[in-house]
Structure 1
Amino acid sequence: MDRDGPLGDSLHDLTEGTTEAVETLVSLWARASQTVSPRLSALQLEALLITRRNPSINLTGLAVEVGAAPPAVSRLCDRLEAAGLLRRQPVPTSRREIGLVLTLRGNEIVDALFARRSELFGDVLTRMPAASRREFLAGLEAFSEAARASDFNSGEQA
C-alpha cells in the first residue's frame, strides 16, 4: 500500500488530519440529533433509522444491525413502542414472524432529523469554496467505497 500521498504527506499525517476533520463532522452530526424531540439516545435513533431503511425488519435483524443482543433490542423496541415511534406487526409473508415498522410519529422524527442534518451541513458547506465542496464529496465517496470494500467484522483489511 502507498504510504505517501501526492504531496509527500505520510499516511500517519493524513490519518491524523482525517481524524480531526471527522471529529468535527461527527460533532455536527450529533448536534442535529440533539434537536429531535422527544430526546432519544443514539441507539434509539439508530434503531429508528435502521427500521426506516428496512421496513418490517424483525428483532433479530435489528439486533444484528445495532450489534446488541436480541433481549436488549426487544427492551429497546418496547420503549420506542411505548413512545409511539415504533410498532410491531405480523409480516405478511410469514404467520410467525413479527416485523418492526415506524409509526407516523416515528417517521416524522426521522424526517426532522434528516432536515436538521441537511440544514447544519448546508450551513457549513456554503462557507467552503465550490471546488473544495466537490473535493470533499469526492473524498467522502471514495472513503465510503473503501470502507464498504473492507471486511471490518472479521478484523481483516482489504
Structure 2
Amino acid sequence: MNASEAATTGTRQEPTHAASSIVELLDVMWDHARNATTGTAAPGSTSQLRLMYVIDGEEGVRMRAVCHRLSSAPPTVTRMCDRLQAIGFLERLPCPDNGREITLRLTPAGREHLQRIRAQRDTVLHQAIENMTPGERGALTQGLAGLRAQLDPSAAPGDRLRAAGRHSAA
C-alpha cells in the first residue's frame, strides 16, 4: 500500500471510529437517562428499552416483526414483553387479521416513561449542540442525515427529518 492509499484508508476509518465513539457515549447517556427517571418502575435492561422504542415506532407491531427488528429469538422477546406488561408499560393484543398472531403497543404509562427518558436525553444533547458553532451544527445535521440514509434506506427523506425533529434536540 502506498502513502496515498494509506491516507485514504485512514480518512475512511476516521468517521467510523468517530461514529462508534459517539454511539458508545450515547449508549451510556441513554442508560443513565433510563436509570435516572423517577415516578415509575423503569425497565430492567437496555434490551427492554430498545423493545419499547421499536413498539413506539410502530403502533400495533406484530411480535414476529419485533423479533426480526431486534434480531432476537421469540422466547427472548416474549420474556421481555412479559416483564414490560407486568409493570404496565406494554399491551398484547390479538392481530386484527390473524388471530394466531399478537400485536404489541405501549400503554400510556409506557409512552410517558419513554417521554421522560427522551426529555432527559434531549436536554443533554441540546446543550452540547448549542455549544457547537453554526457550521459544526450544519455539518452534524448533514452528516447524520447521510448516515441515517445509509443505515435505514427504507425511511423516506421526509420521515427521517420528522423523526429527527421528534426525538432530538437538533
- Give yes or no for TM over 0.5: yes
Evaluate the alpha carbon distance shift between residue 92 and residue 34 of structure 1 in structure 2; reply closer, same or farther with a 3 A threshold.
same
Evaluate the alpha carbon distance shift between residue 3 and residue 52 of structure 1 in structure 2; reply closer, same or farther with a 3 A threshold.
farther
Inter-partner Cα distance in structure 2 for 1:105 and 1:86: 9
Cα RMSD (Å) of the superposition? Answer: 2.5
Match of 1:140 in 2: 144
Inter-partner Cα distance in structure 2 for 1:20 and 1:91: 40
Task: Read off the aligned partner of 1:67 and give its amino acid letter.
Answer: S
Choose the corresponding residue for 2:77, options 73, 79, 92.
73
Inter-partner Cα distance in structure 1 for 2:14 and 2:51: 35
Instruction: Confirm or deny that 1:24 pairs with 2:1.
Output: no
1:30 to partner: Cα distance: 3.3
Match of 1:54 in 2: 58
Match of 2:93 in 1: 89
1:22 to partner: Cα distance: 4.1
Match of 2:118 in 1: 114
Identity rate, percent: 26
Q: Which is helix-richer, 1 or 2?
A: 2
1:74 to partner: Cα distance: 0.9
Unaligned 5+ runs, structure 2? 154-170
1:84 to partner: Cα distance: 0.7
TM-score, normalised to structure 2, is 0.73
> Quick check: 1:85–1:105 contact (8 Å CA) kept in 2?
yes
Evaluate the alpha carbon distance shift between residue 3 and residue 34 of structure 1 in structure 2; reply closer, same or farther with a 3 A threshold.
farther
Inter-partner Cα distance in structure 1 for 2:26 and 2:50: 17
> Quick check: 1:32–1:120 contact (8 Å CA) kept in 2?
no
Task: Read off the aligned partner of 1:39 and give its amino acid letter.
Answer: A
TM-score, normalised to structure 1, is 0.78
What is the number of residues matched between the two proteins? 146
Instruction: Confirm or deny that 1:123 pairs with 2:124.
Output: no
- Post-superposition Cα deviations, 1:88-114, rounded to whole Å, max 9, x if no partner, equal 112233333221111111111111122
Evaluate the alpha carbon distance shift between residue 10 and residue 97 of structure 1 in structure 2; reply closer, same or farther with a 3 A threshold.
closer
> Quick check: 1:57–1:99 contact (8 Å CA) kept in 2?
yes
> Quick check: 1:3–1:11 contact (8 Å CA) kept in 2?
no
Match of 2:37 in 1: 36
> Quick check: 2:30–2:117 contact (8 Å CA) kept in 1?
no
